[in-house]
């Protein structure tokens, strides 16, 4: 589903990713880990097409990201969604409206949207908060809204950046279980985290980045 081949990324001529090569199979759940500044977020942004590689090749599905045109990016975003570290939710809107947004942008019918939003909110145990403003929710609840918004379009790949960043261990477990259930439905899931507790003894594959290189 995702292939990196000899990828280099520089910021202000400083290498941030160096000769990065790996493959992520369709339907895999994989963790990207490593210390702060290792390049985890940069790697996710490259998969999302919001940054471009300076050297090497990146394939995501049928898209060749080193050569992708700006006009193709919306097509890429149909299959790849991003759960941002700071969620990027609309705090002045309700939970319902936040989760509905991607479907509205896609021009789906109101009745279909309603059905999908309520189903998805049920899956993240937030059906009862649909009409609350996002800014009144706890951190863990906002995280789940962000996940609901990312999965509602049935993407083939979900990228999550530190999805358990500020959550307590129990809530973190719930969030990882959510990703597992999305993954069980066939979605490829890539989770960047510096917290080894999330993947210890899980059996999931882990890519370890240090100073922009994959060392394990
Ligand atoms: N837009 C940018 N401009 C300049 N430098 C950047 C930019 N984005 C990232 N960097 C640098 O690239 C390096 C890797 O950053 P990145 O955010 O990918 O690390 P990370 O592994 O996600 O770290 P963290 O665990 O702290 O989130 C850092 O040294 C950072 O300062
Ligand atoms: Mg990061």
89-140 pLDDT per residue, tens = 999 999 999 999 999 999 999 999 999 999 999 999 999 999 999 999 999 9
For residues 149 and 113, give the distance between their C-alpha atoms in angstroms, rounded to a whole number: 12
pLDDT score of 167 more than 90 = no
Partners of residue 161 on adjacent β-strands: 192
Q: Residue 87 burial (CB < 10 Å; 0-12/13-18/19+)?
A: buried
Ligand 1 centre distance from Cα of residue 41 (Å): 7
Q: Which residue out of 8, 18, 40 has the highest number of ligand 1 atoms within 8 Å of its CB and is therefore the one to mutate?
A: 40
Both tokens assigned to 171: 């809530």
| Å from CA of 157 to ligand 1 middle | 22
Ligand 2 center to residue 193 CA distance, Å? 8
**Which helix (H) or strand (E) segment is 190 a member of?**
strand 188-192
Q: What is the C-alpha separation between 4 and 64, in angstroms, rounded? A: 10
Q: Which residue of 8, 12, 16, 195 sits with most ligand 1 atoms within 8 Å of its CB, as the best mutation to test the pocket?
A: 16
Write down the mean pLDDT value for the chain.
95
Q: Is the separation of the CB atoms in 98 and 145 below 8 Å?
A: yes
Q: Which is the closest atom of ligand 1 to the Cα of 44?
A: 18
Per DSSP, 107 falls in state T
Q: Is 59 exposed, middle or buried (0-12, 13-18, 19+ CB in 10 A)?
A: middle
Average pLDDT over residues 64-93: 94
Residue for token digits 């019918």? 109
- How many structural domains comprise the chain? 1
Task: Give the domain extent around 118.
Answer: 2-214
Whether the pTM exceeds 0.85: the reply is yes
**Axis-axis angle for helices 139-151, 169-184 (nearest 10):** 10
Structure tokens that stand for 76 in this block: 């890429």
CATH assignment of the domain containing 42: 3.40.50.300
């Amino acid at each position: 589903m995702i292939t990196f081949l000899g990828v280099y990324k520089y910021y202000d001529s400083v290498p941030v990713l160096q000769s990065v090569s790996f493959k992520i199979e369709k339907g895999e759940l994989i963790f990207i880990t490593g210390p702060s500044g290792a390049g985890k977020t940069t790697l996710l942004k490259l998969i999302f097409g919001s940054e471009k590689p300076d050297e090497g090749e990146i394939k995501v599905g049928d898209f060749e990201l080193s050569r992708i045109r700006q006009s193709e990016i919306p097509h890429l975003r149909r299959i790849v969604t991003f759960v941002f570290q700071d969620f990027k939710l609309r705090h002045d809107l309700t939970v319902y409206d936040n989760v509905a947004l991607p479907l509205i942008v896609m021009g789906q019918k109101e009745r279909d949207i309603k059905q999908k939003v309520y189903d998805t909110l049920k899956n993240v145990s937030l059906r009862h908060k649909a009409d609350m403003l996002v800014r009144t929710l706890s951190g863990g609840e906002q995280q789940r809204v962000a996940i609901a918004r990312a999965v509602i379009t049935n993407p083939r790949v979900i990228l999550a950046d530190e999805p358990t960043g500020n959550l307590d261990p129990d809530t973190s477990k719930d969030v990882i279980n959510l990703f597992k259930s999305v993954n069980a439905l066939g979605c490829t899931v890539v989770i960047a985290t510096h917290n080894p507790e999330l993947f210890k003894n899980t059996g999931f594959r882990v890519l370890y980045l240090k100073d922009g290189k994959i060392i394990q």
